Chain A
Amino acid sequence: MISYREPTRQELTVLRRSFNHWGIFDYVLDKEILLNERKLNGSKIKEVYLTTKDNFKMILESASLSHIGMLIGHMKRRSFVPSMAGADLIARVGVNFPFVKVNQAAEALVLYGRDIMHGSILDHGNLDKNSTILIILNENRVPIGLGITTVSIGKSFLHKRIVIKTIVDAGYYLRNERWTR
């Protein structure tokens, strides 16, 4: 069961700032943002859902409600981290979002949750600082995961080092037969 609520003003400010960072601020303007608080491994997380205005009007608050629109990410303290579906949305409609584009060999590894070596990166953009969360794209710009930089990847001497840790990957769906949020 899912029990949603609309974000508070403070939460909305955090989310809008994040949406601006990911380049989807304008896209979400005519949509409804909803939060669902639940416990995961003992700690409380806030799931962030995006849906159409029409769907929002039609939602029945009922014990049978199992899912709304798209789970685009989670709020952690004062930040927003996209889910795989959120990463996919950003890759399609976002502008100027942080990304790396990887080669085919790395694509296969990322889909098994493996990290990315410097030499596998074909292109990158909008990575201003270390520990930047980014979208991992394959050669055809299809989103395959979400990662975080471990070091500044612009430095050429890092050639044989892991520079991006994979946080979520699209293969996760298949590896977990009993898929949940």
Chain B
Amino acid sequence: MIGRFLEYMPDAEKCLAIMESPSITYIRTNTLKIDPDSLLSLLDARNIELGSTEFPEVYRVVHTSLPIGATPEYLAGLYYIQDLSSCIAVEELDISSNQLNMDMACAPGGKTTFMAQKMSNSGAIFAIEYNRRRLPSVIFNLSRCGVLNTSLYNFDARSAGSLNMQFDRVLLDAPCTCEGIISKDKTRKTSHDPSDIEESSRRQLELLLEATKVVKPGGLIIYSTCSFAPEENEVVIDELLKVLGNTIVIEPVRHGLPGLTHFGDRRFHSSLSHTARLYPHLHNTVGFFIAKLRVC
């Protein structure tokens, strides 16, 4: 894995060192229930020190003597523990009220609840989770966060196209090998091999092709993974462009480093530079990839 990282990751050694230490914890204010300043005051009273980020509703946890996932404010759904990278993915969806949106792989519900928040609990979200065992966590988070506008379904999103439904926005935070979250889960260093990346990449392309079937003309798809592997990121998007050609336009993501335009001997479409890579040592996030796709 390390040999691969050296091929495409800037300052890979620093990145690996950072991933050995605990990652930064971020919390997102649930503005369906409270404003960011009021949350700051409530948590300050519990001696939880927060720092600001570029997003007004997202805070960095500087110091806490309490488990941040067990305060009464957490239980009441006043905030969600969520990495900055996930918040960026939802920000890039350009969500507004009264839209009809889809989340194709929603567990545990962090991005879904942020979408509901961005929609002010209006319109509708069609949320899909294939893994039945992960449904309770989604229901817990939807309930805790006071989300009204979402329905949750348990099926393989690779058949989403057969629903004959059209959405304004589609979020595909695709199941991946999770290389980017090694700092949170050390087993990710050894839990996969090249064949897993290949299998994951194939499934991701199938899911993404399905996403293009359910988005309205002019609508947006955000494709994201928490993996560094080009096979799960730029390769998937490049393959999609080969299949669908000019019907997909990659729009620039406003954060991170530009995506790769080549990997090994493989050259990608030049617009892959509009995708974004987030690195722990450069962006204080987990490792993450985001592509913003406009469907013509």
Interface flags, B117-161, vs A, CB<8A=1, else 0: 000011111100100000111111011101111111111000000
**A-chain residues with CB within 8 Å of residue B152 when the two chains form the complex:** 65-68
**B-chain residues with CB within 8 Å of residue A60 when the two chains form the complex:** 151, 153, 163
Q: Does A7 contact B (CB under 8 A)?
A: no
**B-chain residues with CB within 8 Å of residue A58 when the two chains form the complex:** 100, 124, 126, 151, 165
Which residue of the partner chain B has the closest CB to A58? B124
**For the complex, what is the distance from the CA of A178 to the CA of B136, rounded to whole Å?**
7
Q: Does A40 contact B (CB under 8 A)?
A: no
Interface flags, A93-133, vs B, CB<8A=1, else 0: 00000000000000100010000000000000000000000
Q: Known contacts A67-B139, A181-B139; decide if A173 and B98 are in contact (CB<8 Å).
A: no
Segment at the B interface, from A15-23, A138-146, A151-159: A138-146
A111-B72 in contact (CB<8A) = yes
**B-chain residues with CB within 8 Å of residue A107 when the two chains form the complex:** 72
Q: Known contacts A52-B149, A142-B76; decide if A85 and B136 are in contact (CB<8 Å).
A: no
**For the complex, what is the distance from the CA of A85 to the CA of B78, rounded to whole Å?**
12
Q: Nearest Cβ distance between residue A60 and chain B, in whole angstroms?
A: 7
Q: Does B42 contact A (CB under 8 A)?
A: yes
B154-A64 in contact (CB<8A) = yes
A144-B148 in contact (CB<8A) = no
B153-A55 in contact (CB<8A) = no
**For the complex, what is the distance from the CA of A179 to the CA of B122, rounded to whole Å?**
26
Q: Which one of A65, A83, A179 lies within 8 Å of B137 (CB-CB)? A: A179
**B-chain residues with CB within 8 Å of residue A84 when the two chains form the complex:** 143
**A-chain residues with CB within 8 Å of residue B143 when the two chains form the complex:** 70-71, 83-85
**For the complex, what is the distance from the CA of A170 to the CA of B145, rounded to whole Å?**
12
**For the complex, what is the distance from the CA of A107 to the CA of B72, rounded to whole Å?**
8
Which residue of the partner chain A has the closest CB to B136? A179
Q: Nearest Cβ distance between residue A166 and chain B, in whole angstroms?
A: 14
**A-chain residues with CB within 8 Å of residue B63 when the two chains form the complex:** none
Interface size on A, residues (CB 8 A): 40
User: Which residues of chain A from 160 to 174 have a CB within 8 Å of any chain B CB?
Assistant: 170-171, 173-174
User: Which residues of chain B from 144 to 196 have a CB within 8 Å of any chain A CB?
Assistant: 144, 146-155, 163, 165
Interface flags, B79-107, vs A, CB<8A=1, else 0: 00000000000000000001010000000
A65-B151 in contact (CB<8A) = yes
Q: Nearest Cβ distance between residue A143 and chain B, in whole angstroms?
A: 6
**A-chain residues with CB within 8 Å of residue B153 when the two chains form the complex:** 60, 62, 64-66
Q: Which one of A51, A65, A178 lies within 8 Å of B148 (CB-CB)? A: A51
**For the complex, what is the distance from the CA of A88 to the CA of B75, rounded to whole Å?**
10
Q: Does B77 contact A (CB under 8 A)?
A: yes
Q: Which one of A51, A66, A174 lies within 8 Å of B154 (CB-CB)? A: A66
Q: Does A75 contact B (CB under 8 A)?
A: no
Q: Does A31 contact B (CB under 8 A)?
A: yes
A170-B75 in contact (CB<8A) = yes
Q: Does B73 contact A (CB under 8 A)?
A: yes
**B-chain residues with CB within 8 Å of residue A55 when the two chains form the complex:** 123-125, 148-151
Q: Interface on B for A, CB 8 Å cutoff?
A: 33, 42, 45, 69-70, 72-73, 75-78, 98, 100, 121-126, 129, 135-140, 142-144, 146-155, 163, 165
Q: Interface on A for B, CB 8 Å cutoff?
A: 31, 50-52, 54-55, 57-60, 62, 64-71, 83-85, 88-89, 92, 107, 111, 138, 140, 142-144, 170-171, 173-174, 178-181
